Chain A
Amino acid sequence: MVRRGFLKSGGLALLGVGLMGGIPGFIAEAAAGEKIISPYKKRKTLICIFQRGAMDGLMAVTPFTDDYLKNARPNLFMSAAKTGNNSPLIDLDGRFGLHPSMKAFEPMFREKRLGIVHGIGSPNTTRSHFDAQDYMESGTPFNKGTASGWLNRAVGLLGHDALTPFTAVSMTSAMPRSFYGDNPSVSISNLQDFAIQLRGNQSGANLAARSFEDLYDKTTSGLLQQTGKESFDAMKMLQKTDLKNYKPTNNAVYPNSALGNSLKQIAQLIKMDVGLEVAFAESNGWDTHFNQGTDNGIFGRNVADLSNSMMALWTDLAAYQDDVTVMTMTEFGRTVHQNGTGGTDHGRASCNFILGNAIAGGLVHGNVKPLAVENLEDGRDLAVTTDFRSVFSEVADKHLGIDNDHVLFPDWKGDRIGVMRS
């Protein structure tokens, strides 16, 4: 059983006790298990960011030479040339321009560590947020009843038992659809909640914690006994670090936003070496039907938050960059035409961003045809030319070593497009 793998008991002496100044029980026990090579071998971490609400990919990464787009968006279209007081797009390759509020991404793109896939989306043409998110997170675009999420299945395919309670962590208050399933995963919006707490009575809490630990240690229910042990080990692990007064490395500055806060905590977990391999965070507010704005405005603030949060993480994790890949996703894109209220409506394809040292970066992957009506899906939307599963499976394979697409994306048989360097 995968779930409890890290609790295999064994009589081996603890590895590296002296070195690390005390290894939590679950790691020590994992070390004693059969399959574990070395508990402190650095593990790869995949961080996924879901942009809920459907990001306008055509505004994030604009095919600025396309006159069809220019005509379709008289108030929203931006150019790569400096005009008036507006900030111009950042010209990536002569055809695509990055939104000026994502200037933090530019160096990464130039260094070929940031890749973009344009025209990415789901083969299911639904334009319902709920359905499209559900399909993308379950990884089965034509089956609602899939019980598990694709990232939970990824955890089961890591090729080894989960090493710690922190193998898969979602920085959300409720378990996201991507994490549904039988493999171990935790959702928590604030790591400091990982403690026995009694408001205004810390010593009481500490006493209770001791009683709880003892009770759970002695219970006859295997499930409660094991999970109890994990919980207290995990709690002690986090208590070793001063979570509250965390100082990011290299003066990285996280935006004071939900996403910034989530990524900061993910960085903390990675640095604590608690075995994090799959992490999940959310970014909200992408459903820009009204007053989307151009270089400044709702959309501009959103992409600034996204790019600045990701780059703060990247800077903070300077020593870990080889082991970390960050990938964004969004349920669909938005209409090519602007609507009557200064925004865009639900469309089909969008774009996504992948950050990491093994990315085939510096390129806008995928296939975006000129936005003439005949090239649009249903005559109105950027066509989906790359199945999201193609990209997700390639990243999972190359970064986490998961090559069982049949399990990760059960109904999918397709080709990869080379977003990762081989």
Chain B
Amino acid sequence: MKKTVKYLVSIGLLVLGFVVFSSFFMSVPNAKAVKFPYRLSGLTERQAAAHLLSRFTYGATPGEIDQVVKSGLESWFNKQLEASLPDDSLNQMLAKFDALKLNNAEIVSEYPKGNQVLRMAISDGVVNKDSVNKNRNAYKDVLKKYMDDNGMKPEQELYREFINQKVLRSAYTNNQLQEVMTDFWFNHFNVSITKGDCAQFIPDYERDVIRPNALGKFNDILLATAKSPAMLYYLDNFSSVAANNDYMAGRGLMRRQIMQNTAVIEDTTQRAKLQKARKTQGINENYAREVMELHTLGVDGGYTQQDVTQAAKVLTGWTIYPMGQYNKGVKKAVDKISSQRFEKAGFVHDGDFLFNSNRHDNSEKVVMGKHFGPDGGYQEGVNLLAMLAHNPSTAKFITKKIAVRFVSDNPPQSLLDKMSKTFMEKDGDIKQVLITMVDAPEFWNASAVREKTKSPFELAIGAARSLHAEITQPYQLYNWVNKMGEKIYYYQAPTGFPDKGQYWINTGALLNRMNFGLALASGRIPGIRIDLAALNNHHEPESAQAALVTYCQLIMPERKLDETIKHLTPLLNDPTLMQKVDEASANTPPAQMQQAATMDNMAVQDSGDMKGRGKGLKNKKNNFIAMQNNGGDNSMLSQVVGVIIGSPEYQRR
């Protein structure tokens, strides 16, 4: 018996070993015998690793260059393309965010919009309609109780969790490239929390539409965005209805069902709305225009206004399946329609997406010379998007945008040609496009290295990574990102944030970048804990000058730092510095003691019994590395690190 178990175990181990072994080989089909061509540009392996990390992560963590060199640059990159590294500690951090596990229907029910809550409360008889008119405050408590009783939460909490998650994930995921690409595609297919109708669907949009497709085929991500509630609402296609069809005549399958079931619609406001809605609807070109101009072909991609109008007709009927408490009447009615009847009528119900054939324009359409329909139904739209995804203009437009993101604001044409060729030949496979990019000498050229300006988000997350920060209040970092000019998820226009240095660097924003560096390094951002001594393995630098050099190299590895060090040196030698620091330390009023992560800083203080040996440090025990008070870390080291984070060199990647 015992023997059998042993036997089974060893077989199991063998099988496991084989799986691991084979997966190792399976996992590197893209691995090249040849190395990335960085030597051509005179880069050392370490410099090349630094460049690679600057392009495909949110910033190198201390020691990460060593790891990449050790595993081999090509192997590291392939692992990143696979995006399947374990993320246990991150997942543990995210486990507490309940909202992030919900699907759209659950979100709509649990985080309803304020006005919907009010209407539901009125319809449920909890709030008297007349009291609404008289005194707003009187029913606020009632509403809050109503929400609690029904398991509803304020919508704002949803966005807070979502943003907290984004900060943590970007800072800590091992699959950095996937997250960087998620950011890229989100911005490319931008939607915005500023548009109330689409806001609730954005967490799902990033989680289920963008991230899983971020390293897939372009056609897949295009189709997935087209069918997502966030995009359908953001660019209005959900409401687009053909001018002449059953829907407008009130003969549609869904409409009949809904109107027959009006009894189930308790909310009279909503019923009136439904009856009225038909009159005000018609074709809406917004999505059709932007899908060509911004998502695929580009503004000069070879389409006309006529094509836009025709494409809009192709996409009529692409809408959202009813969901949520507020829509429960409609949903009930529609749910009653059997799938056979649905299918027979040409409807397509796929998750949150609904193709409502009654709203679709059944006539024949022509877009860029290609015919769609008549009576092609849902498939017309699928074919249209596939046609757009495979157009040479799209290949050029998308690959240029990728090159601008990962190479420089003005990538060389020779590189763009290679990338768009791959895009066309490999069916819009994003991984293959990225491989072509890093295999090209242009990627490693001196004109690309450090030529990108970090966006505020890249700066904040990168700084947290550079300093090995422990983030317990991610929203605090988000607030700084916002202050520096990148309110992520709130960019209003469908263009997304412009990806160029000039956009990010303006006077107000630049000062805030400097202030961010100072606040972060001095421990003044609540919930962002850093330990500067630990960063250098608690080795005490020999002198102030040595500390400057050491920390510059730790934070900005593999760069030419002569200039930065030279211009920071006077800071160390300022004869009045210590006096000023002391004063600041002594003068910090109690009012400012509240927020900073004081406990954490105290630990540094205890460890910092080094003797100041640098110029200007004489007789000033502790000041250099551990000048703390409850308002934050006022040591010169924190000051130096703050200036490094805010320095021009650190703004580049």
A contact residues vs B (CB 8 Å cutoff): 3, 128-131, 134, 138, 143-147, 165, 173-175, 177, 180, 182, 184-188, 193-212, 214-216, 218-221, 223-225, 227-228, 230-231, 234-235, 289-291, 340-342, 378
CA A235 to CA B508, docked complex, whole Å:
9
A290: chain B residues at CB < 8 Å are 132-133, 136
Contact (Cβ within 8 A) A224 B651: yes
CA A341 to CA B130, docked complex, whole Å:
8
A130: chain B residues at CB < 8 Å are 194-197, 492
- 0 or 1 for each of B587-616: is its CB under 8 Å from A? (1 = yes): 111001000000000000000000000000
CA A195 to CA B511, docked complex, whole Å:
7
Take A177-B492, A182-B502 as given contacts and tell me if A234 and B293 are in contact as well, using a CB distance cutoff of 8 Å: no
Q: Which of A198, A214, A230, A235 contacts B522 (CB 8 A)?
A: A198
Query: Residue B639 at the A interface, CB < 8 A?
Result: yes
CA A144 to CA B286, docked complex, whole Å:
7
Question: How many A-B contacts if CB must be within 8 Å?
Answer: 193
Contact (Cβ within 8 A) A203 B580: yes
B632, chain A: closest CB distance, angstroms: 6
Count chain B residues whose beta carbon lies closer than 8 angstroms to a beta carbon of A.
75
CA A30 to CA B195, docked complex, whole Å:
41
Contact (Cβ within 8 A) A196 B515: yes
Smallest Cβ-Cβ distance to B630: which chain A residue: A200
A42, chain B: closest CB distance, angstroms: 22
Take A201-B522, A212-B643 as given contacts and tell me if A223 and B505 are in contact as well, using a CB distance cutoff of 8 Å: yes
A214: chain B residues at CB < 8 Å are 567, 570
- 0 or 1 for each of B128-161: is its CB under 8 Å from A? (1 = yes): 0100111010000000000000000000000000
B326, chain A: closest CB distance, angstroms: 16
Contact (Cβ within 8 A) B482 A173: yes
CA A207 to CA B568, docked complex, whole Å:
11
Query: Residue B15 at the A interface, CB < 8 A?
Result: no
CA A231 to CA B495, docked complex, whole Å:
28
Take A199-B631, A291-B136 as given contacts and tell me if A194 and B511 are in contact as well, using a CB distance cutoff of 8 Å: yes
Contact (Cβ within 8 A) A208 B518: yes
For this complex, 24 residue pairs linking A to B, each with C-beta atoms less than 8 Å apart, are A128-B197, A130-B194, A130-B196, A144-B493, A174-B485, A180-B493, A184-B506, A187-B485, A194-B511, A195-B511, A196-B511, A200-B592, A201-B634, A204-B518, A204-B634, A208-B571, A211-B567, A211-B571, A218-B563, A219-B648, A221-B651, A221-B652, A224-B510, A340-B129
Query: Residue B183 at the A interface, CB < 8 A?
Result: no
A211: chain B residues at CB < 8 Å are 567-568, 570-571, 643
A128: chain B residues at CB < 8 Å are 195, 197
- 0 or 1 for each of B633-653: is its CB under 8 Å from A? (1 = yes): 010000100110011110110
Take A186-B506, A223-B501, A290-B133 as given contacts and tell me if A215 and B643 are in contact as well, using a CB distance cutoff of 8 Å: yes
Contact (Cβ within 8 A) A234 B507: yes
Take A201-B631, A211-B567 as given contacts and tell me if A131 and B502 are in contact as well, using a CB distance cutoff of 8 Å: no
Contact (Cβ within 8 A) B286 A3: no
A177: chain B residues at CB < 8 Å are 492-493
List 8 tightest A-B contacts by C-beta distance, closest first. Answer: A200-B631, A219-B648, A203-B580, A201-B584, A342-B133, A224-B648, A200-B592, A200-B588
Q: Which of A146, A184, A231 contacts B510 (CB 8 A)?
A: A231
Of B136, B508, B519, B524, which is in contact with the most chain A CB atoms at under 10 Å from its CB? B508
Known: A201-B584, A220-B563, A224-B652. 12 other contacts (CB 8 A): A144-B286, A145-B289, A173-B482, A198-B515, A198-B632, A201-B588, A207-B571, A207-B577, A208-B514, A210-B570, A290-B133, A290-B136
Contact (Cβ within 8 A) A204 B639: yes
Query: Residue B208 at the A interface, CB < 8 A?
Result: no
B240, chain A: closest CB distance, angstroms: 13
Query: Residue B583 at the A interface, CB < 8 A?
Result: yes
B99, chain A: closest CB distance, angstroms: 23
A224, chain B: closest CB distance, angstroms: 4
Query: Residue B22 at the A interface, CB < 8 A?
Result: no
Contact (Cβ within 8 A) B648 A201: no
A144: chain B residues at CB < 8 Å are 235, 286, 289-290, 493-494
Query: Residue B179 at the A interface, CB < 8 A?
Result: no
Contact (Cβ within 8 A) B563 A219: yes
Q: Which chain B residues in 543-580 approach chain A with CB under 8 Å?
A: 563-564, 567-568, 570-571, 574, 577, 580
Query: Residue B490 at the A interface, CB < 8 A?
Result: yes
CA A128 to CA B652, docked complex, whole Å:
40
Contact (Cβ within 8 A) A202 B514: no
B75, chain A: closest CB distance, angstroms: 33
B498: chain A residues at CB < 8 Å are 147
Q: Which of B115, B133, B514, B631 contacts A291 (CB 8 A)?
A: B133
B647: chain A residues at CB < 8 Å are 212, 215
Take A174-B487, A231-B510, A291-B136 as given contacts and tell me if A204 and B580 are in contact as well, using a CB distance cutoff of 8 Å: yes
CA A218 to CA B487, docked complex, whole Å:
30
Q: Which of B299, B501, B507, B642 contacts A186 (CB 8 A)?
A: B507
Q: Which of B482, B574, B646, B651 contacts A174 (CB 8 A)?
A: B482
Take A131-B236, A173-B482 as given contacts and tell me if A227 and B132 are in contact as well, using a CB distance cutoff of 8 Å: no
CA A206 to CA B515, docked complex, whole Å:
11
Smallest Cβ-Cβ distance to A3: which chain B residue: B502
Query: Residue B294 at the A interface, CB < 8 A?
Result: yes
CA A216 to CA B651, docked complex, whole Å:
11
Smallest Cβ-Cβ distance to A292: which chain B residue: B133
Take A145-B294, A204-B634, A218-B567 as given contacts and tell me if A212 and B507 are in contact as well, using a CB distance cutoff of 8 Å: no
B274, chain A: closest CB distance, angstroms: 16
A225: chain B residues at CB < 8 Å are 648
A146: chain B residues at CB < 8 Å are 493
CA A155 to CA B581, docked complex, whole Å:
43
Contact (Cβ within 8 A) A204 B643: no
A206: chain B residues at CB < 8 Å are 580
Q: Which chain B residues in 466-513 approach chain A with CB under 8 Å?
A: 482-483, 485, 487, 490, 492-495, 498, 501-503, 505-508, 510-512
Smallest Cβ-Cβ distance to B593: which chain A residue: A200
CA A279 to CA B504, docked complex, whole Å:
20
Query: Residue B413 at the A interface, CB < 8 A?
Result: no
Q: Which of A145, A185, A227, A340 contacts B494 (CB 8 A)?
A: A145
CA A131 to CA B239, docked complex, whole Å:
14
Contact (Cβ within 8 A) A208 B643: yes
